[in-house]
């Protein structure tokens, strides 16, 4: 068995064992046991694409996507929580100096702290360039003031990549990315609760009041941060697409298994042709979505421009999941509402997936503009 196969096999056992056992309670508001983060760390998940020289697993992007899918088939929120911590570890490898990296990366890889990437603010979501968290240069580094909310892991993150304005408000070129230890004086985290199962995603935010960080914490200087986000978000859109495919696939499988044993009018449900219709419709659309997601994964893995394909894949996968999950829930009858089943969890998650890493309406606009630009270029 290859290293990748062994990694994914261990992860599948973790997802179908410990994660599946705990997820129904998360749907009802319980927070994941910190021991689960350490279990994920032992498997190597938090260092999936981190170079081996820095203690990671050095797997490729396709393996990260497969890992996200395996977890999301059970609980999207927990998968998002882990991959967001992973991403900050990778950022430390790519952009931090040795001292900063060596201080925090081991804690991330061991699951001792979670981490988050914080762009969104109370007054700026889609319009990211409008963020008002401010970074002012000091003699020893930077002083940060501002607030972030609707952040995955925001309620418990030990560290954050914080995007802040260093120049004048509204100027995208003035935005920079800072690594911030959220246990520093002046940092205050909070949870955001909602009926939409936020606990496994750790959704929350934080306020920064005169938080002082050293010069070495500026990982993405002004002029580079905005561009880095626009490039890296293609990977996030792709793994979110893959996770939506996985959630829909899991729901189809669970509905099919239920329909094979639940009796109605003297037959199992799946003997009734009209009962099978929503499963067939979901399966057909899932096959199309999966093919598009695979194209996006391939483009990112080979380092090609994935802007258009990743946006198309995310729109398609999110909307396919959003369209079919309610019909599958209906096909389950009242049993579909039981927290032990995946339907309500995945339904809420598919709605959330439509907002994270680029809201669907904005992505549609992006696809239209990119396609138009490509057509104009082709005509020349």
Q: Which residues contact 164 (CB under 8 A, 6 or more apart)?
A: 131, 133, 134, 135, 144, 146, 175, 176, 178
Nearer to ligand FAD, 292 or 349 (CB): 349
Nearer to ligand FAD, 79 or 286 (CB): 79
Q: How far is the CB of 121 from ligand FAD (least distance, A)?
A: 8
Q: How far is the CB of 192 from ligand FAD (least distance, A)?
A: 8
DSSP string, 165-225: ESSSTT-GGGEEEEEEETTSTTEEEEE---TTT-TTTT-EEEEEEEEEEEGGGEEE-TTTH
CA angle 26, 199, 94 (to 5 degrees): 120
Nearer to ligand FAD, 62 or 355 (CB): 355
Nearer to ligand FAD, 95 or 199 (CB): 199
Q: How far is the CB of 307 from ligand FAD (least distance, A)?
A: 17
Which residues pair with residue 204 across a beta bridge?
Answer: 151, 191
Q: Determine the Cα–Cα distance for residues 165 and 341; give it in Å rounded to an integer.
A: 44
Nearer to ligand FAD, 204 or 249 (CB): 204
Residue listed under structure tokens 């290859």: 2
Chain CA centroid to CA 13, Å: 21
Q: Determine the Cα–Cα distance for residues 49 and 67; give it in Å rounded to an integer.
A: 11
Nearer to ligand FAD, 43 or 152 (CB): 152
- Residues 259 and 268: beta-carbon distance below 8 Å: yes
Q: Determine the Cα–Cα distance for residues 79 and 108; give it in Å rounded to an integer.
A: 15
Q: How far is the CB of 86 from ligand FAD (least distance, A)?
A: 13
Q: Exposed/middle/buried for 379, CB within 10 Å: 0-12, 13-18, 19+? A: exposed
Q: How far is the CB of 26 from ligand FAD (least distance, A)?
A: 13
- Residues 115 and 159: beta-carbon distance below 8 Å: yes
Q: How far is the CB of 279 from ligand FAD (least distance, A)?
A: 28
Q: How far is the CB of 114 from ligand FAD (least distance, A)?
A: 11
Q: Which residues contact 230 (CB under 8 A, 6 or more apart)?
A: 307
Q: How far is the CB of 118 from ligand FAD (least distance, A)?
A: 5
Nearest to residue 79, comparing CAs of 123, 112, 40?
40
Q: How far is the CB of 128 from ligand FAD (least distance, A)?
A: 7
In the complex, which residues of this chain contact ligand FAD (CB under 6 A)? Answer: 84, 116-120, 125-126, 150-152, 201, 203, 352, 355-356, 359, 361-362
134-137 vs 267-268, strand pairing mode: unpaired
Nearer to ligand FAD, 155 or 341 (CB): 155
204-214 vs 267-268, strand pairing mode: unpaired
- Residues 184 and 211: beta-carbon distance below 8 Å: yes
DSSP string, 26-39: HHTTPPPPHHHHHH
Nearer to ligand FAD, 91 or 332 (CB): 91
> Which residue is closest to ligand FAD by CB?
125
Q: How far is the CB of 314 from ligand FAD (least distance, A)?
A: 12
Nearer to ligand FAD, 151 or 255 (CB): 151
Nearer to ligand FAD, 281 or 355 (CB): 355
Q: Determine the Cα–Cα distance for residues 237 and 231; give it in Å rounded to an integer.
A: 11
């Amino acid at each position: 068995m290859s290293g990748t196969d062994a990694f994914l096999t261990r992860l599948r056992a973790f997802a179908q064992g410990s994660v599946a056992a705990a997820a129904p309670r998360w749907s009802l508001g319980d927070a994941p046991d910190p021991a689960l983060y350490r279990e994920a760390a032992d498997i190597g998940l938090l260092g999936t694409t981190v170079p081996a020289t820095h203690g990671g697993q050095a797997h490729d992007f396709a393996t990260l996507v497969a890992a996200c899918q395996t977890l999301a088939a059970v609980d999207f929120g927990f998968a998002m929580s882990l991959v967001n911590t992973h991403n900050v570890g990778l950022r430390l490898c790519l952009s931090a100096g040795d001292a900063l990296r060596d201080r925090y990366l081991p804690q991330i890889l061991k699951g001792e702290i979670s981490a988050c990437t914080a762009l969104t603010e109370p007054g700026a979501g889609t319009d990211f360039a409008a963020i008002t968290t401010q970074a002012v240069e000091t003699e020893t580094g930077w002083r940060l003031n501002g607030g972030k909310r609707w952040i995955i892991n925001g309620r418990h993150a030990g560290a954050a990549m914080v995007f802040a304005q260093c120049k004048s408000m509204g100027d995208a070129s003035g935005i920079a990315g800072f690594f911030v230890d959220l246990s520093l004086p002046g940092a205050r985290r909070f949870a955001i609760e909602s009926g939409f199962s936020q606990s496994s995603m750790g959704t929350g935010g934080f306020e920064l009041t005169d938080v002082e960080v050293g010069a070495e914490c500026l990982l993405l200087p002004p002029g580079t941060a905005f561009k880095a986000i626009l490039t890296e978000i293609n990977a996030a859109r792709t793994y979110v697409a893959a996770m939506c495919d996985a959630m829909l696939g899991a729901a189809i499988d669970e509905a099919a298994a239920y329909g094979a044993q639940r009796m109605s009018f003297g037959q199992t449900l799946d003997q009734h042709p009209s009962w099978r219709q929503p499963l067939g419709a979901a399966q057909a659309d899932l096959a199309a979505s999966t093919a598009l997601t695979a194209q996006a994964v391939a483009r990112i893995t080979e380092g090609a421009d994935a802007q258009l394909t990743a946006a198309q894949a995310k729109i398609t996968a999110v909307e396919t999941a959003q369209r079919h999950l309610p019909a599958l829930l209906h096909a389950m009858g009242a049993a579909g509402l039981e927290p032990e089943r995946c339907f309500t969890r995945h339904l809420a998650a598919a709605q959330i997936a439509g907002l994270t890493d680029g809201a669907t309406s904005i992505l549609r606009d992006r696809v239209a503009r990119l396609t138009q630009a490509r057509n104009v270029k082709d005509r020349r």
